[in-house]
A and B are shown apart, each in its own frame.
Chain A
Amino acid sequence: MSDAPRFAPGAAVRVKDDWPERRGPCHIRTPHYIRGRRGTVVRPLGAFANPEDLAFARPAPKRTLYHVLFEQEPIWHEGKPADTIMVEVFEHWLEEA
């Protein structure tokens, strides 16, 4: 069982600036370009078995998955100001911004 979503639509969040791949074998669905970046929760998408455990055949508790919106320009230092990137991010990668 998973808990109720911690973040509501519109919540300001920051993706953890964490790099587990530097610590050893892992399987991560959080792309590198949003680590440490601020975004806005669009909506929770439901709860899914944590792929970081699934990939290693460990018991995989369900975690809430969110659609999180980021501005393109601050990430790449190029592009049009109003353009955005929307990414599926698991709750354990998010903290309040």
Chain B
Amino acid sequence: MNEYTYPILFGVIVGTLARLLMLRTDYRQYPTYLHGKVIHLALGFIAAGLGAVAVPAIMEKEFTAITFLTIAASQFREVRNMERNTLAELDEYELVPRGKTYIEGIAIAFESRNYLVIFTSLVTTGCYLVWNIYVAAGAVLICYLIIRKFMSGSTLKEIVEITYKDIHFEGAGLYVDNIYIMNIGLPERQEEIKKYGMGFILTPKNFNVRSSIANLGQRQAILHDVSISLGVFRDSGTPALVPLIKRDLDDGRIGVFILPQDNDVERAKRVIGAVPVLENAIRMPSEAKANRKGRDQ
């Protein structure tokens, strides 16, 4: 026991708790209970340890100890690779795949959350050592708020209007509103699709959103989330029964065609509204310098 024992212990515990807080298994069922969680808790513990010992190391004038943090960085980049590989492997066996953009988003979240853990432990241990445990407790609260901020991305209902539109056939062509989805030849399939299919039109609320929802990865994420939450009328060997999203080139609206097992319109709307806007799909054409100049003149 020395003067650093309690601060380090405090930092490690707070850091690990922070990781636990950020590790939610929701409808995505990822990370898997129980073993997937254990992996990330263990890594979170390591991250917390690294963050916590950094401050005492500096106080002891062991400046080289900081290089440990670089090892941590490469370690957690590996976490991102691991998540990406696992999810990409699993994706091949999904009835409606997540898509690469969604997977990349999840992998990035896993990496960045470990850095948040390091940050939390570093700040709390630092506060404990420099001032006292009460200041450290205050720092924990602030870190908690920061973490909450980082965890909550925006969802689709904030950027688009969702309206229910019936699907219909013109000849063999399947349409949602006026958006062409695909060609279904067999009358038998057409009947199935009329019975189970639902159509939704997502209208972008502004110009930036147009390009974000046009992203193929974002569209696949919508289909995946809807299929997870509402079930999907599909099996291997029935490639014609596939949920699809197509875009109206004129005004950037997208037509969502889904085949849920639960045909509740309001629920489907809620599910689509709750789909996360993928970080990698967000585009901000209005922020481009060329665009801004045009507006000033």
A in complex with B: no
- Residues in chain B within 8 A of chain A (CB atoms): none
- Residues in chain A within 8 A of chain B (CB atoms): none
